[in-house]
Structure 1
Amino acid sequence: MADTILARLAGGPLDAQIIPLDTDDLDAVDDELVLPWEQGQLIYRRAGDAENTGPHDGPTTVPYRYDAQI
């Protein structure tokens, strides 16, 4: 079983935050994250390929960029 995959957020209110994703399978990583925020939700969209995917190069991270607040 792989380690937890992390989302690295860029832009918006959660800029530079790193959060765990709900999967340990890269094929199951969503292209969009909808996150609760104050009175609404934040939308982050996948912004590139996963990094650190090898067995000995640290936690796998997937970049996401802020898109909108709803």
Structure 2
Amino acid sequence: MSIRLLCDTARVLAEARHVEPDRARRRAWFTDDPIAELGHRTAEDVVEAGETRRLIAMIQAIRAHERGR
């Protein structure tokens, strides 16, 4: 895994901590749960595609109650 992917993964998981405090659930979400509004890709797929900013914006919208979980 490249340094960019490691850093982006860490950024996404850190941001997601504000929505899902349980580390195991957060990690499972990142690797296993397809996200409809992101083309039914997992968060991991989105990061690998270089769309980390889009994913973080979605998480921030959830935190701001502008979008459901």
What's the TM-score, normalizing by structure 2? 0.30
Question: Radius of gyration: which is bigger?
Answer: 1
Q: Which has the higher strand share?
A: 1
Name the structure, 1 or 2, with higher relative contact order (CA <8 Å, separation 6+). 1
Q: Which has the higher helix share?
A: 2
What's the TM-score, normalizing by structure 1? 0.30
